[in-house]
């Protein structure tokens, strides 16, 4: 059986993340950060997730990000649904982080709160 998340192309996946976060903005209240995802592999792309004023916005326009995560599309999908631990991925080279490491750790916690595997 194919995992549902595998059915999403990268742009669709990013729009879905934006939608899920905006349906329940309470976990991001008071958060003001720009995450950039540099995705490699079968699907490549650069997307930013802007969290500000209790709202999530996904963009392909690149601004200065607080934290950039570089990983393959396969590992990105696993990371989103909690099947890839960020710290372990970083330590094994599956995830590269540029910028604020603390914000990267916070992202993993936020994703857990949204339980994306229930929505994807």
Q: What is the pTM assigned to this prediction?
A: 0.91
In order of 1, 42, 43, 62, the CA distances from 74 in angstroms are 16, 8, 9, 22
Query: DSSP letter string over 20-79?
Result: HHHHS-GGGTT--EEEEEEEESSS-EEEEEEEETTEEEEESS----SEEEEEEHHHHHHH
pLDDT tens profile 47-62? 999 999 999 999 998 8
pLDDT (tens place) for every residue of the chain, 120 residues total: 345 788 889 999 999 999 999 999 999 999 999 999 999 998 999 999 999 999 999 999 888 999 999 999 999 999 998 899 999 999 999 999 999 999 999 999 998 888 887 777
Instruction: Provide the terminal-to-terminal Cα distance of the chain, rounded to the nearest Å.
Output: 15
> 26: how many CB neighbours lie within 10 A of its CB?
8
Return the pLDDT at 1: 31
Return the pLDDT at 7: 83
């Amino acid at each position: 059986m194919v995992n549902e998340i595998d059915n999403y192309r990268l742009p669709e996946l990013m729009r879905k993340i934006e939608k899920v976060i905006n349906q329940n903005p309470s976990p991001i209240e008071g958060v003001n950060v720009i995450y950039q995802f540099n995705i490699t592999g079968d699907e490549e792309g650069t997307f930013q997730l802007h969290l500000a004023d209790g709202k999530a916005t996904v963009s392909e326009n690149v601004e200065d990000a607080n934290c950039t995560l570089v990983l393959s599309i396969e590992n990105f999908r696993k990371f989103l649904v909690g099947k890839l631990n960020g710290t372990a991925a970083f330590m094994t080279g599956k995830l590269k982080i540029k910028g604020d490491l603390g914000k990267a750790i916070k992202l993993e916690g936020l994703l857990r709160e949204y339980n994306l595997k229930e929505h994807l």
